[in-house]
Structure 1
Amino acid sequence: MNYYIITGASRGLGEAIAENLISKDNHLFCISRKGNEDLVVRAGLKDCRIDFFEYDFNFLEEIDMLAETIFERINFKKADSVCLINNAGVAKPIKPVGNFPSFEIISNMNVNLIAPMILVSEFIKRTEEVTCERKIVNISSGAGKKPYYGWGCYCSAKAAMDMFTGCVGVEQKNITNPVKIISFVPGIIDTDMQADIRECSEEDFEQVERFIKFKENGNLKSPDFVAKKLLELIHNNETKTGMIYDIKEL
Structure 2
Amino acid sequence: MPNHLTLITGASRGLGRAMAVQRLREGHHVLTLARRPDAALAAPDGGLLEQWSVDLGDPLDAARRLEHWLGALDAHRFASATLINNAALLTPPGPIGAADAAALSAALRVGLEAPVLLTRAFVHATDGWAAQRKVLNVSSGLGRFAMAGSAPYCAVKAGLDHFSRALALDEALKANGARVVSLAPGVIDTDMQVQLRGADPGVFPDRERFAQLKAGGQLASPEAAAARVLAWLDRADFGAQPVADVRDA
TM-score by length of 2: 0.95
Contact 2:91/2:99, CA 8 A, preserved across alignment: no
Provide the secondary structure at the position in 2 that maps to 1:98.
helix
CA distance in 1 between partners of 2:141 and 2:58 (Å):
27
Per-residue CA distance 1:122-179 (angstroms, 9 max, x = gap): 1111011111100000000000011111101000110011000000001111210010
**Which letter does structure 1 place at the counterpart of 2:127?**
E
Provide the secondary structure at the position in 1 that maps to 2:40.
helix
Contact 1:89/1:111, CA 8 A, preserved across alignment: yes
Larger mean CA deviation between 240-249 and 140-149 belongs to 240-249
Q: How does 1:189-208 map to 2 (within 5 A)?
A: 189-208=188-207
Larger mean CA deviation between 122-131 and 97-106 belongs to 97-106
CA distance in 2 between partners of 1:115 and 1:75 (Å):
25
Provide the secondary structure at the position in 2 that maps to 1:240.
coil
Q: Which residue matches 2:4?
A: 2
- TM-superposed CA distance for 1:24, in Å, is 6.6
**Which letter does structure 2 place at the counterpart of 1:7?**
T
Q: Which residue matches 1:55?
A: 54
Per-residue CA distance 1:72-130 (angstroms, 9 max, x = gap): 46321111010000000122132101112221221111011000000111111101111
Q: Which residue matches 2:35?
A: 33
- Does the alignment pair 1:119 with 2:121? no
Cα distance change, pair 163–51 in 1 and its aligned pair in 2 (3 A): same
Provide the secondary structure at the position in 1 that maps to 2:155.
helix
Contact 1:140/1:162, CA 8 A, preserved across alignment: yes
- Does the alignment pair 1:138 with 2:140? no
Per-residue CA distance 1:170-193 (angstroms, 9 max, x = gap): 111121001001011011101111
**Which letter does structure 2 place at the counterpart of 1:77?**
H
TM-align CA RMSD: 1.4
CA distance in 1 between partners of 2:33 and 2:131 (Å):
23
Runs of 4+ in 1 over 3 A off after TM superposition: none
Q: Aligned residue pairs: how many?
A: 247
Contact 1:170/1:242, CA 8 A, preserved across alignment: no
Contact 1:180/1:242, CA 8 A, preserved across alignment: no
**Which letter does structure 2 place at the counterpart of 1:37?**
A
Per-residue CA distance 1:30-75 (angstroms, 9 max, x = gap): 11111111112xx1x4341100011111112312332135314632
Structure 1 stretches of 5 or more lacking a match?
none
CA distance in 2 between partners of 1:176 and 1:113 (Å):
27
Identity of aligned residues (%): 28
- TM-superposed CA distance for 1:241, in Å, is 4.5
**Which letter does structure 2 place at the counterpart of 1:13?**
L
Contact 1:167/1:242, CA 8 A, preserved across alignment: no
Structure 2 stretches of 5 or more lacking a match?
none
Cα distance change, pair 150–59 in 1 and its aligned pair in 2 (3 A): same
CA distance in 2 between partners of 1:37 and 1:73 (Å):
26
Contact 1:96/1:204, CA 8 A, preserved across alignment: yes
